[in-house]
Amino acid sequence: MSELHHTFIITDLALIFTIVGVLSALFRWLKQPIILSYIIGGIVLSILCYNNKQGIYEHVKIWSDIGIIFFLFEIGLEFNFKKLMRIGPSSCIAAITIVIPMILLGYLVGTCFKLSHKTSLFLGAILCMSSTMIITKILNDLHLSKKKFTEIVLGILIIEDLIAIILMVVLSTIAISQKIDGHKLFYSLIKLIIFLSFWFTLCTYFIPLILKKIKYFLNDEMLLIIGIAFCFGMAFFATQAGYSSGLGAFIVGSILAETDEGEKIKNMLLPIKNFFGMLFFISIGINIDISTLEISYYAMIGIISIIVIIGQLLFATIGTIFSGQNLKTAIFTGFTLTQIGEFSYIIASLGLNLGIIKQPLYQVIIATSIVTIVTTPFMMKLAPITYNFLKEKLPTKWILYLNKDTFENGFIKNKTLWKKLLNNMSLMVGIYFFFSCAIVFFSSKYGYPIINKYIHGFHGNLLFSIIIIFLISPFMWIIINQNKNSDEFIHLWNENEENKMRLIFTIALRMIICISLIMYILIYSLNLNSLISFVVSLIILTTFLKSRQLRKHSRKIEQHFAKNLNSNNNNKLKQIISSDFTNHLMKQDLHLSKFIIKHSHSIVGKTLKELNIRQLFGINIIAIIRGDKTINIPHGKERLYNEDCIVAFGTDNQMDSFQAKLEKNEQVYIQNRSNNNRQNKEIVLQQIEICFNSPLIGKTIFSSKMQENYHCLLVGIERDNIANLNIDMNMSFKNGDILWIAGEFDGIKKFENLCN
């Protein structure tokens, strides 16, 4: 039976790869996203294997579940919490402006089609997500990845990915409830925040430490295994906490992204993710049964597709303008986000498994995604046409207003000292507070029953309170003293008395937060009244602040956490370029871009002075990142090497022209390599006899220049039946000498003609 089962699996895989292989080649030729070939391949499989559809689907379903884990793990490796802080409010505002109206629009569409409230809510969540994979692929295919608007688009996609993770949890809670309970929903959100904060803090503290300890024993194979172990280990903890395995994979991926090994793990994981990801998209296509789709469903597909395209275009454009960008950037952004993608599939599959989304609606959603994905490249090509049309037709006053510099009074400003201080303070206080809440939550759920089992009554509760307060004491100290020694805090404190009062208020506010948490522990475990618990909490907190041992221990924790949080070498671009400088560039319609130098580029090995990049292309090289080394403002004598990352700024046209030069060099290199591969370049060893009329007779080995002219190497000479391997370069050739020559076939043939 087992052997028969294995035969079915092999048969299924053979059929899957045959169909997908043909379709992917076809879609590549048609210049369509390869993901479409996977979904269409699933539909073809559904038709061909109609009688055994359930069997093949069960196999693919298992693999696709693994694919979702790898997919979210890879998104985590791309997305990290520091990146969320770096992209600024612009992308956040644009993303929120898209997501909320699209959810409401999707909900309204669902109610118009007489769907239930829960199903309509799922539909809204599905329609609000654009596709990271599709957009990234199309941007690269259309050579738009260096454009200014792509920074905003990718920032919006990062925010949407995070919102999608939260929506998955919220929708799961709503789906299993008989009704939408606001209190239960709020509790679920708080629980999710605590869960995320706890594991983010714990993993940030320990994972870089573990990798550092075993760094000298790691090779690529071990690193990949350890990365996958973290992925599935965190997926297991997430499922134990009642969340999806994908959420755990996403969390640990975002943590690993902050380590030095994050980029390496992501690159090694790519083939595995692509394999299982392909099976995930195939499983989506298998669920589609075209024969069951009625005429009314085709109308529904058309209506929803139009709503997605117009809605995403409109809200993305408006949101981007609201965020402080000009009209051109907003239009290009809006025309790029006109599709639903991978997270929409995951949410749709979640709704299908929970029974909220029925099979016909699921098929409509997948068909809608196919329509919107197919139209995306054409929509992106319409962006410049639309912008030029509006530029001509709209009143000049409007154009000047929409294209004016909104950075002076918009959302993207140079951060003041107060903003820097409060942003950093809010982030760190939030992390440590929620980590403390997580300790209290898990201790109450798992630790308290154990203590109560052996020590009953007041004494057990007292012991529990002491243990919990002891565990959170370092974090309470850090929360109150956060940023007190920072340059911003000291500068503001010394500036004037008004600032001192405000800073004292921030400290008092943090003390109230800590007292509230300690009061909760005392009231929960010891049943103290509010006044007594407040006094006791104040005494405990004062003791914490005066303890030198606790201060020393807390500072070690804080320094170690901050070091791990800022250890990623991939963030060098941000480290070497200040926000003031970046904003100034954006005001001048300039932007920063990174170019990775490959061995196939003709500029490898040349100095910046020789390349004359600024004069030829107009762009300015402001930094070169070479491994762990960063060269700021490189001089003209600096050479470019393979795998160098150059940081440049310029306009879209200047970046395009430089990128085109690099791509042209690469195409020439590939063509030359292809031509060389068609020739016989194998090294051979051959005997050649020198004839009496050879021009080599009388010449020395050195003067024959066989290595320079024919790329051949003399490895031995046989003269008078005596072999000589210790060759003297001043030895002269004689008639009848037998030469042992090593080299390429063509070179040896030419030298043989000389010998004869």
What confidence tens digit (pLDDT) does each residue in 527-561 have?
777 678 888 888 888 888 888 888 888 777 777 77
Q: What's the Cα-to-Cα distance from 629 to each of 272, 515, 576, 632, 644, rounded to whole Å?
A: 31, 46, 11, 10, 10
Q: Tens of pLDDT along 641-664?
A: 877 888 887 777 777 777 777 766
* 328-346 average pLDDT score: 84
Q: What's the Cα-to-Cα distance from 422 to each of 415, 417, 503, 699, rounded to whole Å?
A: 10, 8, 10, 83
Question: In this model, does residue 567 exceed pLDDT 60?
Answer: no
Half-sphere exposure of residue 62: CA atoms within 13 angstroms, side-chain side: 6
Question: In this model, does residue 134 exceed pLDDT 50?
Answer: yes
* Residues 6 or more apart whose Cβ sits within 8 Å of residue 696: 690, 704, 733, 754, 755
Q: Tens of pLDDT along 152-174?
A: 887 888 788 778 877 887 787 77
Strand partners, 743: 684, 712
Per DSSP, which regions of 560-660 are E strands? 591-596, 620-626, 629-632, 645-650
Nearest 5°: phi and psi at 615? -75, -35
* 14-37 average pLDDT score: 82
Residue 86 pLDDT: 57
* 75-102 average pLDDT score: 72
Contact indicator for 661, 610 with CB cutoff of 8 Å: no
Residue 88 pLDDT: 56
* 81-96 average pLDDT score: 67
Residue 570 pLDDT: 43
Q: How far apart are CA 673 and CA 423, in angstroms?
A: 52
Question: In this model, does residue 104 exceed pLDDT 80?
Answer: yes
Question: In this model, does residue 586 exceed pLDDT 50?
Answer: no
Q: Tens of pLDDT along 669-698?
A: 545 554 554 444 567 778 888 887 888 888
* 228-237 average pLDDT score: 85
How high does pLDDT run on average in the chain? 76
Question: In this model, does residue 585 exceed pLDDT 50?
Answer: no
* Residues 6 or more apart whose Cβ sits within 8 Å of residue 335: 313, 379, 380, 382, 383, 386
Strand partners, 722: 719
DSSP element (H, E) containing 205:
helix 182-213
Indicate left, alpha or beta for 522 from its phi (over 0: left) and psi (-120 to 50: alpha): alpha
* 583-599 average pLDDT score: 62
Contact indicator for 242, 194 with CB cutoff of 8 Å: no
* 139-147 average pLDDT score: 70
* 251-257 average pLDDT score: 80
Question: In this model, does residue 568 exceed pLDDT 70?
Answer: no
Give me the domains of the chain, ranges plus CATH numbers.
2-402 (1.20.1530.20), 417-546 (no CATH), 577-678 (3.30.70.1450), 683-755 (3.30.70.1450)
Residue 576: pLDDT band with limits 50, 70, 90: very low
Q: Tens of pLDDT along 451-495?
A: 877 887 788 888 888 888 888 888 888 888 877 777 777 777 777
Contact indicator for 21, 31 with CB cutoff of 8 Å: no
Residue 80 pLDDT: 57
Of the candidates 513, 440, 439, 520, which has an alpha carbon nearest to the alpha carbon of residue 476? 513
DSSP 607: B
Residue 310: pLDDT band with limits 50, 70, 90: very high
Residue 663 pLDDT: 64
Of the candidates 174, 151, 226, which has an alpha carbon nearest to the alpha carbon of residue 354? 174
Residue 409 pLDDT: 39
* 83-100 average pLDDT score: 72
Residue 294 pLDDT: 67
Structure tokens at 543: 């003791």
